[in-house]
Amino acid sequence: GAGVSQSPSNKVTEKGKDVELRCDPISGHTALYWYRQRLGQGLEFLIYFQGNSAPDKSGLPSDRFSAERTGESVSTLTIQRTQQEDSAVYLCASSTRDRKNSPLHFGNGTRLTVT
């Protein structure tokens, strides 16, 4: 079946501009995660959505970052007034809630370059 889809795959933007990244999770997956991965680094947790519950935003690095998700569907990550340090790959993952050990399914990410 279809996996997690992210768009765009690459985004180049000028410093100070706003960007919006999109994630389409696997159908039926109630949990959705956003991670940031800088070049050569590990995955940095940003935000977590679970169904209609309030999201866990504890990983968002600043108030320039925000994310939305409507129900159990598409999510968008918005970065306002981008800075060069925002350059990274932004990864989205989804999982089911039918069992405690449901693995994460990742998209291939959006590579963001801020010039």
Partner 1 sequence: LAKTTQPISMDSYEGQEVNITCSHNNIATNDYITWYQQFPSQGPRFIIQGYKTKVTNEVASLFIPADRKSSTLSLPRVSLSDTAVYYCLVGSTGGGNKLTFGTGTQLKVEL
- What does the binding site for partner 1 look like in residue numbers (CB under 8 A)? 4, 31, 33, 35, 41-43, 45, 48, 50, 53, 56, 58-59, 91, 93, 95-109, 111
Q: Is 74 or 104 the residue whose CB approaches partner 1 more closely?
A: 104
Least Cβ distance, residue 16 to partner 1 (angstroms) = 27
Q: Is 86 or 107 the residue whose CB approaches partner 1 more closely?
A: 107
Least Cβ distance, residue 54 to partner 1 (angstroms) = 11
Q: Is 18 or 68 the residue whose CB approaches partner 1 more closely?
A: 68
Q: Is 69 or 107 the residue whose CB approaches partner 1 more closely?
A: 107
Q: Is 6 exposed, middle or buried (0-12, 13-18, 19+ CB in 10 A)?
A: buried
Q: Do residues 81 and 50 make contact, with C-beta atoms less than 8 angstroms apart? A: no
Least Cβ distance, residue 73 to partner 1 (angstroms) = 18
Query: Rounded CA gap, 39 and 26, in Å?
Result: 26
Q: How far, in whole angstroms, is CA 98 from its chain's centroid?
A: 22
